[in-house]
């Protein structure tokens, strides 16, 4: 029995340097793939958050336009921009633009059609650095009908 143990001890078995390097390479590729998946997940969550916040801002702005009377909406500036600071840290989080188009529905009626378009763009944490103006913009359009004699 001692002879078998001494024979096993004499064998030079183990991992060669090449095998260790190949193993480390495979491990590194696996770790980098996992890190890339986490990075993609974080960026997708950030984009989803921006989309939800942009939709909320656009809906609130549209609701404020819907509450205007005929006189108020008629006197309102047809195009404009508003800065939004969601967390009150003095940094602009979003900018929304509105555009109001006024048009008579048909001749002989007192009804006017207002097409209100609101576009929300997310801004970066640093003032003045746009994260994604255009690609990340959220747009909402609504038609408001008013009769100046009844409202």
Domain span holding position 46: 16-146
Question: Does 69 score more than 70 pLDDT?
Answer: yes
Instruction: List the CATH number of the domain containing 105.
Output: 3.30.1300.30
124 part of a folded domain: yes
State the pLDDT confidence band at 29, using cuts at 50, 70 and 90: very high
Distance CA 93, CA 96 (A): 10
Residue 2 maps to a domain: no
pLDDT exceeds 80 at position 46: yes
pLDDT-derived band at 124, boundaries 50, 70, 90: very low
Tally of CB atoms within 10 A around 65:
17
pLDDT (0 to 100) of residue 135: 52
Q: Is the pLDDT of residue 56 over 80?
A: yes
Q: Distance of alpha carbon 86 from its chain centroid, rounded?
A: 14
Please report whether residue 3 resides in a domain: no
pLDDT in tens, 98-116: 888 888 777 666 777 888 8
Q: What is the pLDDT of residue 150?
A: 61
Does residue 60 sit within a domain?
A: yes
**Residues 6 or more apart from 91 whose CB is under 8 A from it?**
85, 123, 125, 126, 127
Better pLDDT: 17 or 132: 17
Please give the pLDDT value at position 127: 33
Number of separate domains in the chain: 1
11 within some domain: no
Within a domain: 29: yes
Is residue 149 scored above 80 in pLDDT? no
* Helix (H) / strand (E) containing 44: helix 17-66
């Amino acid at each position: 029995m001692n002879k078998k143990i001494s024979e096993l001890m004499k064998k030079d078995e183990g991992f060669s340097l090449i095998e260790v390097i190949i193993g480390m390479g495979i491990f590194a590729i696996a770790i980098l793939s996992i890190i890339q998946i986490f990075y993609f997940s974080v960026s997708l969550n950030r984009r989803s958050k921006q989309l939800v916040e942009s939709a909320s801002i656009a809906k609130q702005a549209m609701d404020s336009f819907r509450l205007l009377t005929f006189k108020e909406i008629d006197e309102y500036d047809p195009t404009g921009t508003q800065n939004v600071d969601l967390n009150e840290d003095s940094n602009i989080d979003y900018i929304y633009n509105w555009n109001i188009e006024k048009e008579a529905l048909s001749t002989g009626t007192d009804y006017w059609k207002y097409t209100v378009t609101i576009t929300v763009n997310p801004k970066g944490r640093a003032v003045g650095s746009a994260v994604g103006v255009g690609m990340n913009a959220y747009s909402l359009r609504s038609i408001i009908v008013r009769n100046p004699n009844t409202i």
